[in-house]
Structure 1
Amino acid sequence: MQIGLLEAGHAAEIIRAEHGDYRDMFTRILEPHGLSFRAWDVEGMQFPESVHDAEGWLISGSRHGVYEDHPFIPPLEEFIRAAYDAGIPLVGICFGHQIVAQALGGRVEKFAGGWSVGSTAYTIEGRPITLNAWHQDQVLIPPETAQTVGCSPFCAHAALIYNDRILTLQPHPEFDRGIIADMIAHRGSGIVPDPILVDATARLDRPTDGPDMAARIARFFKERR
């Protein structure tokens, strides 16, 4: 099954050198489940001609906020609405989670409670699951079409499902221990408060359930609709 990866941003150069870009991270966790990828750099204004150019779509993370004024955000929102109307499965991760919510009528803000970084315990679809997080922005009010299926004490709307057409996650199943460790070491200082980075470093060896969530994402793409 071919999935179109909409790259809403790119990993930092120092992260790419060691771990690859988002397309590499998603390929590693999802290709074993029978998914292949073709990427469009939507941050660079490269968009598919049609929502039918792939069998499903995945929107990556980004350093940008969905509420910021960037040229790629309005056409990406239009694409999301078109994919939803066409019933083509779509998955959003972090920024992708937030831009889908905004495009379909929800509200996203820089969370007053601060940052979530590193290994984090969630309840998703009734199951405890641990995934790596890296965000301050959050979906504060989901769209009316969304059902909240995942949360943590810090993030009330960590996973959303939209009428079995769209699945979105605030945490990063594609971020393994090495990626988070390098982000803490090379990207966090001066952006994320030091006590949060220290706490996240202490949790680096906590096992995460990225492979299980990758399997869930693959099942979502392959579900008959």
Structure 2
Amino acid sequence: MRLTLIQIDETSSRLRSQFERYPPQFQSLFAAAGADIEWQTVLVLDGDPFPDPATLDGIVITGSKYGVYDSPVWIEPLREFIRAAYAAKTPMLAVCFGHQILADALGGDVRLAPNGWQLGRQIYRFTDDRPACFDDLPETIALLASHQDQVISPPTCATTFLAAPGCPHAGLVYDNGAAISLQPHPEFDRDYATALVGLHRGNPLSADEVAALVRRIDGPLDDLPVAKALAACLGGR
């Protein structure tokens, strides 16, 4: 399987000396899950042009420091790329900001979450509409998150399959049978998630709140079984 990574962010400059760039995070996750994937990367922030999505085997859209309400020069071309990929039924996985811009491009409502930042290890539950590729997973799963925006109302062409009390539309599956998205970050590892939480010390979190979130990150995670399920979703065109 050949996947095209639409990279819309970079590791924080405050963490770049410690951690790899975004593409290896996804590559490492899917390799650890046993998926045989060849990767190519579109560096959106560097001005790389969007390819014709109808010619691609599959697409992964990353997170970003931007919101769907921002107006960088690439955001409307990204929406057009997403709509074209959806129409072509090109397999597409979107994560965090990717989850949000996919919903936004297809008619959903994305805003700042009323309950603020969602950070560290979060527990999500599957709804009755989970895709078949997730059938082997338990009713609830734990994944790492880092976001303050979220999907408030999904587009009419999407169904919620994953939810949490603070994020009721954490996973969406789309009616074209080829697009799926997640608000949490299965590609993050514990060290990176811990470092991201640390960036919020003093704004908006106290030292005690940061320490509590870091302790939770040590709990079990379901990143590998989720990655296996996502690889199956992307490969099953």
When normalised by structure 1's length, the TM-score is 0.94
Cα shift at 1:14: 4.0
2:155 counterpart (122, 131, 143): 143
Give yes or no for the alignment of 1:199 onto 2:217.
no
1:180 counterpart (193, 209, 215): 193
Cα shift at 1:161: 0.4
Cα shift at 1:38: 0.6
Superimposed CA distance per residue, residues 82-124 of structure 1 (whole angstroms, 9 cap, x where no aligned partner): 0000010101000000000000000100112111100010013
Q: Residue in 1 aligned with 2:68?
A: 66
Residues 132 and 166 (structure 1), Cα distance of their counterparts in 2 relative to 1, 3 Å cut = same
Q: Runs of 5+ in structure 1 lacking a partner?
A: none
Instruction: Assess if the C-alpha contact under 8 Å between 1:117 and 1:197 holds in 2.
Output: no
Instruction: Assess if the C-alpha contact under 8 Å between 1:35 and 1:218 holds in 2.
Output: no
Aligned residue type for 1:11:
T
1:122 counterpart (117, 121, 124): 124
Give yes or no for the alignment of 1:13 onto 2:10.
no
Instruction: Determine helix, strand or coil for the equivalent of 2:173.
Output: strand
Superimposed CA distance per residue, residues 139-193 of structure 1 (whole angstroms, 9 cap, x where no aligned partner): 00100000000000110100000022210000000111111112123x2234442
Cα shift at 1:24: 0.6
Instruction: Assess if the C-alpha contact under 8 Å between 1:59 and 1:91 holds in 2.
Output: yes
RMSD over aligned Cα atoms: 1.5
Instruction: Determine helix, strand or coil for the equivalent of 1:78.
Output: helix
Instruction: Assess if the C-alpha contact under 8 Å between 1:45 and 1:71 holds in 2.
Output: no
C-alpha distance in 2 between matches for 1:63 and 1:83: 23
56-65 or 189-198: bigger deviation: 189-198
Instruction: Assess if the C-alpha contact under 8 Å between 2:11 and 2:19 holds in 1.
Output: no
Instruction: Assess if the C-alpha contact under 8 Å between 2:54 and 2:84 holds in 1.
Output: no
C-alpha distance in 1 between matches for 2:90 and 2:189: 28
Q: Runs of 5+ in structure 2 lacking a partner?
A: 131-137
C-alpha distance in 2 between matches for 1:129 and 1:166: 21
Aligned residue type for 1:16:
R
Instruction: Assess if the C-alpha contact under 8 Å between 1:19 and 1:25 holds in 2.
Output: no
C-alpha distance in 2 between matches for 1:81 and 1:89: 12
Instruction: Assess if the C-alpha contact under 8 Å between 1:114 and 1:136 holds in 2.
Output: yes
141-150 or 188-197: bigger deviation: 188-197
Q: Residue in 2 aligned with 1:153?
A: 165
Q: Residue in 2 aligned with 1:25?
A: 25
C-alpha distance in 2 between matches for 1:41 and 1:27: 15
Q: Residue in 2 aligned with 1:48?
A: 50
196-205 or 54-63: bigger deviation: 196-205
Instruction: Determine helix, strand or coil for the equivalent of 1:13.
Output: coil
Cα shift at 1:196: 4.3
Q: Residue in 2 aligned with 1:208?
A: 221
